[in-house]
Amino acid sequence: MSYTVRIDKQSCLSSGRCVGAAPAAFAWDADHLGDVLPAAGELERETLCEIARACPALAISVLDAEQREIAP
């Protein structure tokens, strides 16, 4: 299943937990805020949920195929 992953740039604290946990799925943007890469939506559900919940600002949202929020 493919998921939609979003980062609220207004909330992002640049902790880097997402980038450290999944560098193929998350990166830094030009402002050194978290950015979602295309591969993020292909990660396992549990992995995405763990990454979203580990974000200190809870800036990461994970949506299922019906666009229902499943994390944080």
pLDDT of residue 53: 98
Dihedral sign, Cα of residue 42, residue 45, residue 19, residue 10: positive
Q: Is 38 helix (H, G, I), strand (E, B) or coil?
A: helix
pLDDT of residue 29: 98
Report which of 53, 56, 55 is spatially closest to residue 69, judged by C-alpha positions.
53
Domain 4-65 has CATH 3.30.70.20: yes
pLDDT of residue 1: 77
pLDDT of residue 20: 98
> Which residues, at least 6 apart from 6, have a Cβ–Cβ distance to it below 8 Å?
36, 60, 61, 63
pLDDT digits (tens, 9 = 90+) for 14-70: 999 999 999 999 999 999 999 999 999 899 999 999 999 999 999 999 999 999 999
**Count of other CB atoms within 10 angstroms of residue 12:** 20
